[in-house]
Amino acid sequence: MALNIKQFINVAGLVRDLKSFNFSVYGQWFGYINIFLCVALGIANLFHVSAVIVFGIIAIVQGLVILFVEVPFLLRICPLSDNFIAFIKRFETNGKRTLFYVGMAAVQWCSLAVMATSLIAVAIGLTISAASYGVAFFKHQQFQGTSVIKSPADDDFPHEAVVREML
């Protein structure tokens, strides 16, 4: 039995998230997309010969910070300073995440003053996340994590025999 990535994805949870109309879930999904956008486009903009390099570096840092905000499990397994962990734990509500994403989007929108680059995609993605969390905040929706990846406690999660076979 070969190990397949589909075994780790909770399709029923994915459909349930889409039908929930809970905008905090949508904000979290766009946050995941923003991680990739920030890191990839930040690296891509390091090759300009202008001040855009600074915004590229900022985008990479933003991607890493978003990673810890959206995947809090990493705070437990990565060796981080107590100050950084306390900073990340501030963003546990929809309202605070809205402000967090608005601030980061504003920084990337300012990169357009230097030069129009692909960082506009980062700014748009961060703005969409901010809008999603903002709608969830104003609709008084509870912050809810997404359930796309199966939990090891699920009955149909691939157990160690399957992982051992893969290795």
CA 66 and chain centroid, separation: 5
Placement of tokens 């905008």 in the chain: 23
Contact by Cβ (8 Å): 115, 52: yes
CA angle 95, 149, 59 (to 5 degrees): 50
**For the chain, domain boundaries:** 20-142
How many residues are there in the chain? 167
3-state secondary structure of 149: strand
pLDDT of residue 80: 86
pLDDT of residue 7: 59
Measured distance CA(38)–CA(69) in Å, rounded = 14
Q: Can you give the pLDDT of all 167 residues of the chain as single tens digits?
A: 455 566 556 666 667 767 777 888 888 889 999 999 999 999 999 888 888 999 999 999 999 999 998 888 888 888 888 898 889 888 888 899 999 999 999 999 999 898 888 899 999 999 999 999 999 999 888 776 655 555 555 555 555 545 555 55
Q: What pairs with residue 9 in β-bridges?
A: 149
The two structure tokens encoding residue 11: 């399709």
3-state secondary structure of 9: strand
Please state, as a whole number, how many other Cβ atoms lie within 10 Å of the Cβ of residue 52.
21
Query: Can you list the alpha helix ranges (DSSP code H) found in the chain?
Result: 11-19, 23-44, 52-70, 73-77, 82-88, 94-114, 119-138, 160-166
Tell me the whole-structure pTM to 2 decimals.
Answer: 0.79
